[in-house]
Amino acid sequence: MKKLSYKFTTGKTDFYFGAAFSHLSKLVLKSETIIITDKHVFDKHVSKFKGWNTIVLKPGEEFKVQQTVDAVIRQLIDLEAGRKTILVGVGGGVVTDITGYVASIYMRGLSFGFVPTTLLAMVDAAIGGKNGIDVDVYKNMVGLIRQPAFLLYDVNMLKTLPQQEWANGMAEIIKHACIKDSVMFGLLEKTNLESIRTNKNLLPALVGRNAQIKIKIVQNDEFEKGERKLLNFGHTLGHAIENQYDLSHGQAVAIGMTYACSLSGEFLKFRESDRVVNLLQQYELPTYAKFDGAKVFEVMKMDKKRQKKEIDFILLEKIGRGVISSIPLRVLEKIITANSQK
């Protein structure tokens, strides 16, 4: 197990790479800890939770809402959780989002940590301190930024993931490669999902590399005033279609990246869209979806990157270099509506 500590504005986070779930008991006392997980993770790893106070959520993005938060808080009260209680989210992005959010508001703030169990959570969702919930079709509309005390990485827990969850995680890895790491992009082109899943050296290295990319960006811009916006590559359209069309997060982001590449070609003369599209398809991700442009734009214009009559859209100058481009809403509406009709 390798421990790396990073300082952020809102606190220090310890990252434990190459760990096992059993190491959790070395970080926190069972008597002072409440685990929050979902039914899928609990059922697949039930023996690991023996002896831990555990709250089990219904799985899925549709339950990342205030009603779930209220139910968790009532269970914390029933368990007599106090200010010394530590909450540990064991699961994917929905679980870590809810755990961090509840920990930040219950009794005005408890300590919390994460054991991410999906590839997407390990490389993206659990890192950076964004904790929140959805409101109707609007993704992550309510929340706050507060860093976890620790992240514990047990890549062996990924063995139980269904194929789609692996693809979801690869969407965020490809995103990182597009905006920050052209070398990794080339490496991804030369391998495949099966090799990543089964190579005991490749998987931990890829997880660590992507975690480091996001950590560095968040350290530079924790509250998303500048560079951190780059992490939204593919997410502006992705978030607008995800909940409306019952897409997984990775699927929605992959489609969003495809459209962002098209915009990059139009505004920045980006000429490598085919490489991005081919890589997404190589990792079993969709690159096109038919949608109602008017409905999608109504959601998109409430995006958190909106600045009055413009949206900060993330585009590519070249593979490995993402840029923030302010696009007028009226221009974006025309483009989204036109593309949805093709």
pLDDT digits (tens, 9 = 90+) for 69-118: 999 999 999 999 999 999 999 999 999 999 999 999 999 999 999 999 99
Active site residue 228: yes
- Percentage of the chain lying above the pLDDT 90 cut: 90
Q: Phi and psi at residue 223, in whole multiples of 5°?
A: -100, 20
Domains 2-160 and 167-340 share a fold: no
Q: How many CB atoms lie within 10 A of CB 151?
A: 25
Tell me if residue 40 is catalytic.
no
Residue 2, helix vs strand vs coil:
strand
**Angle at alpha carbon of residue 241, lines to 235 and 242, rounded to 5°:** 75
Catalytic residue among 48, 176, 180, 235: 235
pTM: 0.95
Q: Which of 59-63, 257-261, 306-310 has the lowest mean pLDDT?
A: 306-310
Active-site residue flag, 176 = no
Query: What's the Cα-to-Cα distance from 202 to each of 198, 209, 317, rounded to whole Å?
Result: 8, 10, 28
User: pLDDT-derived band of residue 243, with 50, 70 and 90 as boundaries?
Assistant: confident
Sequence spans of domains, the chain = 2-160, 167-340
pLDDT beyond 90 at 231 = yes
220 confidence band (pLDDT: 50, 70, 90): very high
108 as an active site residue: the answer is: yes
Residue tagged active-site, from 172, 175, 210, 229: 172
Phi–psi pair at 18, nearest 5 degrees:
65, 30
pLDDT band for position 342 (cuts 50, 70, 90): low
- Per the CB < 8 A criterion, the answer to whether 254 and 285 are in contact is yes
- C-alpha to C-alpha distance for 280 and 63, rounded to whole angstroms: 28
CA dihedral 86, 208, 211, 186 (to 10 degrees): -160
Q: Which bin fits 234, alpha (ψ -120 to 50), beta or left (φ > 0)?
A: left
Residue 338 phi, psi dihedral angles, 5° rounding: -65, -45
| 304-307-311 Cα angle (round to 5) | 70
210-238: average pLDDT: 97
How far are the Cα atoms of 54, 161, 240, 255, 257 from residue 236, in angstroms, in the given order?
Answer: 35, 27, 7, 10, 9
- pLDDT of 339 strictly over 90: no
In this predicted structure, which of 291-295, 328-332, 334-338 has the lowest mean pLDDT?
Answer: 334-338
pLDDT value of position 340:
63
- Helices (H), strands (E): how many in the chain? 14, 12
> Where would I find the beta strands (DSSP E) of 79-191?
86-91, 111-116, 130-135, 138-145, 150-152
Q: Per the structure block, which two tokens stand in for 9?
A: 């504005």
Residue 59 in this model has a pLDDT that exceeds 60: yes
Q: What is the pLDDT of residue 306?
A: 86
Express as a percent the part of the chain with pLDDT over 70: 99
Domain 2-160: give its CATH architecture: 3-Layer(aba) Sandwich (3.40)
Least confident of 12-26, 261-275, 307-321, 325-339: 325-339
Mean of pLDDT over the chain: 95
State in words which class domain 167-340 has: mainly alpha
Give the pLDDT confidence score for residue 125 in this predicted structure. 97
Q: Out of 224, 229, 242, 243, which one is annotated catalytic? A: 224
